[in-house]
Amino acid sequence: MGEIRHNHFHAGLDIKTEGKIGIPVLAIANGYISRIGVSEGGYGHVLYLTHLDRKTSVYAHLQRFEEDLENYTLNQQYQKETYQIQLFPQKNKFYFNQGDTIGYSGNSGSSSGPHLHFEMRNAKQEFLNPFDEFSFSEIQDNIAPRIKYLAFKCLDLDARVNGAYGTLLVQPTKKNNLFSIQKSIHLLGNIGIETYHYDNMSGAPNRNGIPEIILKIDQDTLFHQLKKSMSFDKQREILAHIDYPFKTDKSITLNRLYKADGNKLDFYIKTNQGYFFDETPHELEIILKDNHQNISTLQATLNNEGPYDSYFPHVTTFEIDENQLHFVSTDASSQIFLEDAFIPLQPYLSNKNQYYYLWDLRSGLPDFIESGNLKIQPHFFTEIPSGIDYSFHNEDFILEVNKKSLFDTLYLQFTKEYDSLQEKLIYTFNDRTVPLRKDVTISLHDTDPQKNRYQVFKVDKKNRLDYVGSEQNTAGCFTFKTRELGTFTLDNDTIKPVIKPISWDRMGPKFMIKDLKSGIKSYHATLDDHFLLMEYDVKKNILSARPKNEEKPIKGLFVLEVEDNFGNKTKINKPL
């Protein structure tokens, strides 16, 4: 439990099924089915079994349910005329004893391969560490956690790692279960310590989470994390728990061993906001314990006397790190233009013909920066504090932020440019390294009457379009919600979805459906004008008919209609 996923903590255990589906899934304890779910993504086919102690076990990505549960669910799907459904049966309507078959393993929902996702939740529906609830004696594990990377991050303007401002990544070496650092590390000022770590179990290559981590400096405990339970409401806090900008930029997930601004997680026994290093030596110790009490330790002496390798961070023109604007130039002097005046800046570091500069954005948002022939325009518009409702209006856009949207202060940047190759206006808000807890609402202004049917798409680094969607008003505002800043554009979709028959088998026809641009919005099938359930495998783009009576061949006029997010529709029909 608790390993880092893209934007959430993994809530349970993934149990391998040797690549197979259809393996019986047994109730872990006596209880009644309190919830049944069927969805195209997420948990797919899922069962919630509530026990006498009010705790609930969860069984996800199932192929199908036990027969009575399957029939009940199928009847409800036909009654409500929908594939995706959430059901809450009456208490004790479906009661199972420990060891009874409640379903069969599968690969439904957002599963990336056949397995059973298993969770335990308390009465508040917080997910628990299953290893704290059951012994799982069949699981053997004698492998201690591994630290792949250790990082030292500057947390204020005057902090330095090996003489520079930035995040220095180090790869520890291992002997038995003791990790160490071979390179000399010199730290000064307020520094945050981060690790990329994981745990393996015996006989399985999967990288699992580590429930307990302790950080000590000079034998004083500065950080102690113990994951025993967690609220689903706080899943997005993972973006503050990890170094999200570093992960987004470098694809390495560093866990902060300090508590960043805005982090509301409560599984920390002790935490810090960085450690202030002076020039003297300090002893570093990091202890990691997995669910089977295998322990790894990293020990290192920091600020040893003697030389260290200079660190010259890779900065492409400029970057924003926390509250600092960090830029590099080939000129030994620079100046910032702020509030109708130039402010001279001196480099804090040089390397041959490269000079590094820092500016604290809390001192003001520069209009531009000049350094020799280099001119940097960061395109700042305003500073938005976290924890308040805020609305910013501009002739090109409106940005609305609610008090829960931001983890920390947002230094709003915006550009609007015409891309002649794509023949589109491109709107960029900061970049994708800025984490958001909750949606922000953006309205783009474009009164071009030819864009009457356009909607908002996100533009990725390869200039591919990803449908976002939007609502348009009569004033030419395209309004949408997003939990990721970045680059957006307006575009149209006039291409109808594709329906390709795979099989016209009267026991259950199958079709491949796909939409090349905005994506599938809905699908609907009838047989002689009566609803016919279609099961949708999103991963394979396959729709499969499932008649209410599965022992009787389908007979009558079959009609299938598929609609995309722009209202383009494709319909096929055939007598069966």
The alpha carbon dihedral of 527, 529, 533, 534 has a sign of positive
> What's the pLDDT at 5?
85
Return the structure tokens found at 66.
């036990």
pLDDT of 33 reads 98
Q: How remote is the C-alpha of 262 from its chain's centroid?
A: 17
Q: Output the CA–CA distances (angstroms, integers) from residue 550 to 381, 507, 546, 547, in the order listed.
A: 61, 7, 7, 5
The predicted pLDDT at position 257 comes to 98
Q: What is the pLDDT of residue 550?
A: 87
Q: Which residues, including other chains, have CB under 8 Å from residue 219's CB and lie 6 or more apart?
A: 283, 285
Question: Do the bridges between strand 178-180 and strand 295-302 make them parallel or antiparallel, or are there none, so unpaired?
Answer: parallel
Taking residue 315's Cβ as centre, other Cβ atoms within 10 Å add up to 18
Q: For position 290, what pLDDT does the model report?
A: 94
Which pLDDT tens digit goes with each residue over 44-72? Answer: 999 999 999 999 999 999 999 999 999 99
pLDDT at 187: 97
Q: How far is CA 250 from CA 57, 241, 316, in A?
A: 37, 17, 14
352 class by beta-carbon count within 10 Å (0-12 exposed, 13-18 middle, 19+ buried)? exposed
Residue 256, Ramachandran bin (φ over 0: left; ψ between -120 and 50: alpha; else beta) = beta
Q: Give per-residue pLDDT as tens, 158-209.
A: 999 999 999 999 999 999 889 999 999 999 999 999 999 999 988 888 889 9
Instruction: Evaluate whether 465 touches 491 at the Cβ level (below 8 Å).
Output: yes
Place of tokens 């069966």: 576
- CB contact at 8 A, 134 and 28: yes
* Burial bucket for residue 410 (CB in 10 Å: 0-12, 13-18, 19+): buried
Q: Which amino acid appears at position 109 of this protein? A: G
CA 234 to chain centre: 13
Taking only the tens place, the pLDDT of each residue in 201-248 is 888 888 899 999 999 999 999 999 999 999 999 999 999 999 999 999
Return the beta strands (E) in 492-541 as ranges: 498-503, 510-514, 520-527, 530-537
Cβ-Cβ contacts under 8 Å for 401 (sequence gap 6 or more): 384, 389, 390, 391, 392, 410, 440
Stretches in the chain below the pLDDT threshold 50? none
* Residue 186, phi then psi, degrees to nearest 5: -115, 125
Spell out a b/e string for 233-255, using b for 16 or more CB atoms within 10 Å of the CB, else e: ebbbbbbbbbbbbbbeeeebbbb
